[in-house]
Chains A and B, each alone.
Chain A
Amino acid sequence: MSQSMKNLLKVVITMVLSLVIGAIFILSIGENPIAAYGALLKGAFGTKLGIGTTIAGFTPLLLTSIAFAVAAQAGAFNVGVEGEVILGGITAAYIGIHWGFLPAPLLYLACFAGAMVVAAAWAFIPAALKAYYNVSEVCVTILMNTVALYIGSYLVSGPMSAGVATPQTDPVLVTIPKILKPSSANAGVFLAIIIVLIVIFMLYKTKWGYKIRTVGTNPEHADYVGIDAKKTFINAMLLSGMLGGIAGCIEVLGVHGYYLDGFAKDLGTNGMLAALIVKSNMATTPLMAFFLAVLKSGAMAMQQTTGVPKAIVDTISAIFIIIATMEFVIQIKGRRQKEQAAAVSSGEAPGTAPPVESEEKEE
């Protein structure tokens, strides 16, 4: 069985396992898990609105999950995507409201460019702190997410407030056309898919991608062959930030048409979740993002029709990720494969694993 087949099989088994554990939770509150899951699926796919909601949820998740995965390819654990989405969104809103002097096509471009620049600048802070001072990027990005949240909240309830009851800005002058009305799905999903394809191509077919992968798997080797590990690490984080910024921009221009406080809630976290489940594998991360989008969009329908609280969906996703991080390898040929797999994956663990101690070094 090929390695990728095995990986896929493992994901499927993990998925089933977490759904079973979720079913036990549902049973424990006296509900029928099959009915609940059925209602969930029906909610996500049963109606045009449902499909639209699923796609609307999928769009930002696709971008944020790839944002996390790209950073992970360079060995970074970027929890800060959520902050990048927020700041990208508020920047896009500012430009979209105030730069009316630009013709519409340029204004679109300006919104995206501004969102990308600001989000990348935000990502630069933890990246540089990690690269030059070895400050844990996990800690810094987590803390900075909260700071970004308050910055957005301050702007939208103060200087940029529309003056209505909810904390939101004036509407932007350009919007991304909606599809599948009345859901909030919009043409941004096509843009997101194209961007993600470009990123994946970049990572595997260009020298930039080669450098990122080299740094992510062995930074000391990178420095030695003349690839600046620190710079490459920062570049990957900048790219990750840009992707987050784009997600924010699409949400503002496509979903809401203005900046709404708290719009980015859990977008970064869930993207990270999707990527973590498949170990930031670039090919399967989008699939996982889609799966989570289905869960989210069906959850509300499930809560309404069956009385199972939608928090169960988050619980299942969390269990999913906890099991997925573990390396119990599908045993086909016994021990030997297990040891091999452990050796391979410890080499893959972003930036944390020490150089693999090999038996050939023994003498």
Chain B
Amino acid sequence: MGLMENLGKVFNVSLIYATFRASTPIIYAALCAAITQQANILNIGTEGIMLVGAFTAISVSYATGSWFLGVIVAMLAGAAIAMIMAVGHIKYNSEICAIGMGINLFAIAITKFLLNTLFHTNGNFSDPKIVPIPRVELSFLENIPVLNQLFNNWCFTEWFVILFIIILQFLFYKTVWGLRLRAVGQFPMAAETAGIRVNAVKYQAMLISGLIGGLAGAHLSLGYSAQFVENMTNSRGFMGVAAMYFGGANPVLTAVGCLLFGFADSVGARLQAYGFPAQFVLMMPYLVTVLVLAISMAIKLGAERKRESSLVTGDSH
């Protein structure tokens, strides 16, 4: 009957790529938040950094005709925004949530302002002169039905994100800098007395975070779509932060969290075609994020309780 048939239409092979596609911008955002979290800085400004990146990427691509330049300048713009936050938080003691929210509001306002003054338009901006990030065509896959559907025609930055997760995992847990970053995040005094310049490490983390956030925005405007829309990040930055919590700032686990949101998003979009009210579909990823956050924190708390319990024997010497 219809139901099974419809379910088949919702859950099919193309859902896998759809999930991944929807997840990628969130993964970049989550990695942006993860790197500062390792230094114990909650990067609430991810959303704003990303939005500025998205706008910069579109403008530069439109002006120069080069997507690559667009991405690079977007990353630099992201870094600049992140450095405002870094200076405020590290040097002038800004409460991180407060300045982060300030950055987010600033990003929305300034992109709107520039949209008005540079492109003389409201709401959104798209133009044939915008060169999007190219898609990777794997011609050898073309004749293989499932694999072709799964892996062909990915955006360049979608392939790159996989590599990037691995790079960050390596950076955090295998390199000298990663060790120092984690030490700074967990016990800054210990790092300081071990001869590490704590603030320098924090600035470095924020800088890299800004670069990643800019990349996240560039992917959103030039890879995921080819236009700029006011407030187009649409809480993806916050979802990234949530996913970062879910994964405990571990890049691989964080990415898994992002895939969950991407999945909710993609399934929702398909359900809409079957008469589900649009609003319920649209709120799905947000609800799922809250749920996942709550569950992951509850699990974490439970694990902590179990580890601390006196009734189980730890490996005391």
**A–B: direct contact at CB < 8 Å:** yes
Q: Given A134-B297, A143-B235, A315-B110, A326–B93 Cβ distance below 8 Å?
A: yes
Q: How far is the CA of A151 from the CA of B286 in the complex (A)?
A: 12
Are A314 and B102 neighbours in the complex by a CB distance under 8 Å? no
CB < 8 Å neighbour of B42 from A136, A143, A150, A157 = A136
In Å, the complex CA distance between A269 and B47 comes to 15
Chain B neighbourhood of A135, CB < 8 A: 245, 293-294, 297
In the complex, how many angstroms separate the beta carbon of A336 from the nearest chain B beta carbon?
16
Contact partners of A314 in chain B: CB under 8 A: 105, 108-109, 112-113
| Given A272-B101, A273-B105, A349:B286 Cβ within 8 A | no
A317–B282 CB distance below 8 A: no
A276 at the interface (CB under 8 A from B): yes
Alpha-carbon distance A211/B301, docked complex (angstroms): 26
Known A-B contacts A25-B113, A276-B101; the reply to A142 vs B283 at CB < 8 A is no
| Complex A-B: 5 CB contacts under 8 Å | A25-B113, A146-B286, A318-B110, A325-B98, A326-B94
Cβ of A198 to closest chain B Cβ, rounded Å: 26
Q: Chain A: interface residue count, which band?
A: 35 or more
Judge if A20 is at the interface, Cβ distance under 8 Å.
no
Q: Which residues of B contact A350 (CB under 8 A)?
A: 95
A159 to chain B, nearest CB (A): 10
Q: Which 5 A-B pairs have the closest CB atoms?
A: A314-B109, A326-B92, A318-B106, A154-B279, A325-B94
Mark A residues whose CB is within 8 Å of B: 25, 29, 77, 79, 129, 133-136, 138-140, 142-144, 146-147, 150-151, 153-154, 157-158, 269, 272-273, 276, 309, 311-312, 314-315, 317-319, 321-322, 325-328, 342, 345-346, 349-350, 352
Does B88 reach chain A (CB closer than 8 Å)? yes
CB contact under 8 A between A311 and B109, given known A29-B117, A342-B93: yes
Least distance between B188 CB and chain A CB atoms (Å):
11
- B282 contacts A322, CB within 8 Å? no
Residues on the B chain within 8 Å of A328, using CB: 92
Is B283 a contact partner of A352 (Cβ separation < 8 A)? no
Whether B93 lies near A139 (C-beta < 8 A) is no
B287 within 8 Å of A (CB atoms): yes
B277 interface hit (Cβ, 8 Å): yes
Chain B residues packing against A (C-beta within 8 Å): 42, 44, 84, 88, 92-99, 101-103, 105-106, 108-110, 112-113, 116-117, 235, 238-239, 241-242, 245, 277, 279-280, 282-283, 286-287, 289-290, 293-294, 297-298, 301
- Of all chain B residues, the one with the shortest Cβ separation from A345 is B93
Choose from A139, A142, A318, A326 the contact partner of B109 (Cβ within 8 Å): A318
**A138 engages B97 (CB within 8 Å):** yes
Q: Which residues of the partner chain A approach B282 to less than 8 Å between Cβ atoms? A: 150
B242 A315 Cβ-Cβ under 8 A? no
| A25-B113, A144-B290, A322-B84 as given contacts; A77 in contact with B97, CB under 8 Å | yes
Enumerate chain B residues within 8 angstroms of A134, measured Cβ to Cβ: 297, 301
Contacts of A325 in B (CB 8 A): 88, 92, 94-95, 98-99, 102
Identity of the chain A residue whose Cβ is nearest the Cβ of B239 in the assembled complex: A143
| Residue in A272, A326, A350 with the greatest tally of chain B CB atoms within 10 Å | A326
Give 13 new A-B contacts, CB below 8 A, not counting A129-B293, A318-B108: A140-B294, A151-B279, A309-B117, A311-B109, A315-B109, A317-B109, A318-B102, A318-B105, A319-B106, A325-B98, A325-B102, A328-B92, A342-B93
Contact assessment for B113 and A309 in the assembled complex, using a CB-CB cutoff below 8 Å: yes
Max chain B C-beta neighbours (<10 A), residue from A77, A138, A139, A312: A139
Collect the chain B residues with CB atoms within 8 Å of residue A326's CB. 88, 92-94, 99
Residue in A closest to B107 when the chains form the complex, CB atoms:
A318
- How many angstroms between the C-alpha atoms of A272 and B100 in the bound complex? 13
Closest B residue, CB atoms, query A152: B279
Distance (whole angstroms) from the CB of A279 to the closest CB of chain B: 8
Look across to chain A and name the residue whose beta carbon is closest to the beta carbon of B283.
A150
Shortest distance between the CB of B110 and any CB in chain A (Å): 5
A143 lies within 8 A of B286 (CB): yes
Q: How far is the CB of A188 from chain B (nearest CB, A)?
A: 26
Q: Give CA–CA (A363, B289) in the complex, Å.
A: 46
B98: which A residues are within 8 A, CB to CB?
Answer: 77, 276, 321, 325
Q: Which residue of A lies closest to B110 (CB)?
A: A315
Minimum CB–CB distance for A303 against chain B, Å: 9
CB neighbours of B239 from chain A (8 A): 143
Residues B106 and A139 in contact, CB atoms below 8 Å apart: no
Closest to B87 in A: A326
B293 touches A140 (CB 8 A): yes
Give bound CA distance, A350 to B287, whole Å: 27
Residue of chain A at shortest CB distance from B115: A311
Separation of A133 and B295 alpha carbons in the complex (Å): 9
Q: A311-B113, A317-B105, A325-B95 are in contact. Are A143 and B298 (CB under 8 A)?
A: no
CA distance A249 to B110 in the complex (A): 32
Q: Do the beta carbons of A136 and B245 come within 8 Å of each other?
A: yes
- Contact B103 A322, beta carbon cutoff 8 Å: yes
Q: Which of B96, B102, B112, B245 has the most CB of A within 10 A?
A: B102
Q: Which residues of B contact A342 (CB under 8 A)?
A: 93
Q: Which residue of B has the minimal Cβ distance to A314?
A: B109
How far apart are the CA atoms of A158 and B279 in the complex, in Å?
10
Which residues of chain A have C-beta atoms less than 8 A from B88's C-beta?
322, 325-326
Q: For A317, what are the chain B residues with a Cβ–Cβ distance below 8 Å?
A: 105, 109
